[in-house]
């Protein structure tokens, strides 16, 4: 079967590089074009990653494939959609605002950027949570609304902010089982989440914790309600959940750790909470999509887990690992739980998560 021809925008960045890894040898998508800024354009990909001193900035554990290394990098602002069936976009929000609609006029754009996340006709897909989920929990149909309103053949579907991802995926089964009323979260976010440019300076982060990430808390609070909301008619009704968080940057390369405190509307038991978390997304996983892990959530009983170094690669970075699951009784609500999670920010939280979204949309006939 002929594969779907894919392009990656922002291919030289931290998330873009992960798209190359996620697409390497993919059974359905073939990476045919790469683009980045004017700075990288006109160079072979391997050369675009190299600075003037010859240092290569490749941040993935896997080796760069020789085939991808040879591809020529185009200037994204001049790139046409000819010969492309799908675009994976990993550029900063300002560039995304300009670039993504131009491609979406003709082809699907699976994005990691926040530029369009908050528009009413744009779904923020999280696999099994609001994509491939039962009833009005599923937001897939919003793509039809977006195409109709904007007159596009394609569409834009951004993923959540990488900090929202781990929290929303664990909240969904708890919401289904007990009704989440409030959630309070403190994140300890990895350095790779800030990208290459400008990134986080080693002088700032080594031996340190930075207690503020501009704009992050607002994003997590807003997106969580949208993702867990219901699609009613042509619009999403945000979930009526109180969300409050503090986002910090820590001296970790990859994997966001989050301490989550949840108050629920109904009483339950820790055994039920654990069962809900571990069994989450079974019907989505049964589709056997290539980038899906065996489990979306794994629960550890070891009080010293999860740790980013030990747990971020669970399920090839696609499984959220939960530990320290305990009852929470001080937040109000009928009951509650608290836990710590680790979620891989550049895999499930960005590129491979985006590829999984594309696989599902291909399965449903939205990608041709
Ligand atoms: N890093 C994460 O963990 C993560 C997780 C989820 C979402 N995201 C989102 O993903 C996007 C990319 O983040 P990142 O961390 O990968 O950033 P990054 O490492 O700084 O990479 C940015 C990429 O965008 C390209 N670029 C910059 N300006 C451009 C322009 N005007 N036109 C076209 N391309 C341009 C850069 O190309 P040059 O190399 O040529 O400059 C580079 O390829 C952001 O929207 C971010 O919020 C990141």
The CATH class of the 4-161+351-363 domain is: alpha beta
Ligand 1 atom at shortest distance from the alpha carbon of 115: 45
Among 43, 108, 182, residue whose Cα is nearest residue 359: 108
- Please indicate whether residue 317, judged by its CB atom, sits closer than 6 Å to ligand 1: no
Q: Chunked in runs of 10, what are the mean pLDDT values of the chain (368 residues)?
A: 95 98 98 98 98 94 97 98 97 98 98 98 98 95 98 98 98 98 98 94 97 97 98 97 98 98 98 98 98 98 98 98 97 97 98 98 97
Q: How does DSSP assign 178-212, residue by residue? A: H-EEEEEEEEEE-GGGGTTTT---HHHHTT--B--
Quick one: pLDDT at residue 1? 75
From the CA of 13, how far away is ligand 1's center (Å)? 5
341 vs 187: CA distance, rounded Å: 9
- Please indicate whether residue 13, judged by its CB atom, sits closer than 6 Å to ligand 1: yes
Same fold, 4-161+351-363 and 162-343: no
Quick one: pLDDT at residue 244? 98
- Please indicate whether residue 97, judged by its CB atom, sits closer than 6 Å to ligand 1: no
Domain boundaries, the chain: 4-161+351-363, 162-343
Q: Which fold has domain 162-343?
A: Dihydrodipicolinate Reductase; domain 2 (3.30.360)
Catalytically annotated residue among 162, 175, 245, 344: 162
| 276 Cα distance to chain centroid | 22
For this structure, is 162 an active site residue? yes
| Of 13, 52, 357, best ligand 1 pocket probe by most atoms within 8 Å of the beta carbon | 13
Quick one: pLDDT at residue 74? 98
Quick one: pLDDT at residue 29? 98
- Please indicate whether residue 349, judged by its CB atom, sits closer than 6 Å to ligand 1: yes
Catalytically annotated residue among 139, 175, 256, 344: 256
Quick one: pLDDT at residue 198? 86
């Amino acid at each position: 079967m002929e594969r779907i021809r894919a392009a990656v925008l922002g291919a030289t960045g931290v998330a873009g590089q992960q798209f190359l890894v996620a697409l390497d040898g993919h059974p359905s998508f073939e990476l045919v074009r790469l683009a980045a800024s004017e700075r990288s354009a006109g160079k072979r990909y391997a050369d675009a990653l190299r600075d003037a001193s010859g240092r290569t900035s490749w941040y993935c554990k896997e080796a760069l494939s020789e085939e991808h290394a040879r591809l020529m990098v185009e200037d994204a602002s001049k790139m046409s959609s000819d010969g492309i069936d799908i675009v994976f976009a990993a550029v900063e929000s300002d560039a995304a605002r300009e670039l993504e609609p131009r491609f979406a006029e003709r082809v699907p754009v699976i994005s990691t950027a926040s530029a369009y996340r908050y528009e009413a006709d744009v779904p923020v897909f999280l696999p099994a949570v609001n994509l491939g989920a039962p009833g009005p929990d599923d937001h897939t149909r919003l793509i039809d609304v977006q195409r109709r309103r904007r007159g596009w053949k394609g569409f834009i579907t951004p993923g959540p902010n990488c900090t929202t991802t781990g929290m929303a995926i664990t909240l969904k089964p708890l919401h289904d089982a007990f009704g989440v009323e409030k959630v309070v979260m403190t994140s300890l976010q990895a350095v790779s989440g800030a990208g290459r440019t400008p990134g986080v300076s080693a002088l700032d982060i080594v031996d340190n914790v930075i207690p503020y990430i501009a704009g992050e808390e607002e994003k997590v609070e807003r997106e969580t309600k949208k993702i867990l909301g219901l699609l009613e008619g042509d619009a999403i009704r945000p979930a009526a959940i109180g969300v409050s968080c503090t986002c910090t940057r820590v001296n970790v390369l990859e994997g966001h750790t989050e301490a989550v405190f949840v108050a629920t509307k109904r009483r339950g038991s820790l055994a039920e909470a654990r069962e809900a978390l571990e069994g989450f997304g079974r019907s989505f996983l049964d589709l056997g999509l290539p980038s899906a892990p065996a489990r979306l959530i794994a629960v550890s009983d070891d009080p010293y887990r999860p740790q980013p170094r030990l747990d971020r690669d669970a399920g090839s970075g696609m499984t959220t690992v939960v530990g320290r699951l305990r009852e929470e009784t001080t937040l109000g609500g009928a009951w509650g739980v608290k836990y710590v999670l680790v979620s891989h920010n550049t895999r499930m939280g960005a590129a491979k998560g985006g590829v999984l979204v594309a696989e599902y949309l291909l399965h449903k006939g939205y990608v041709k």
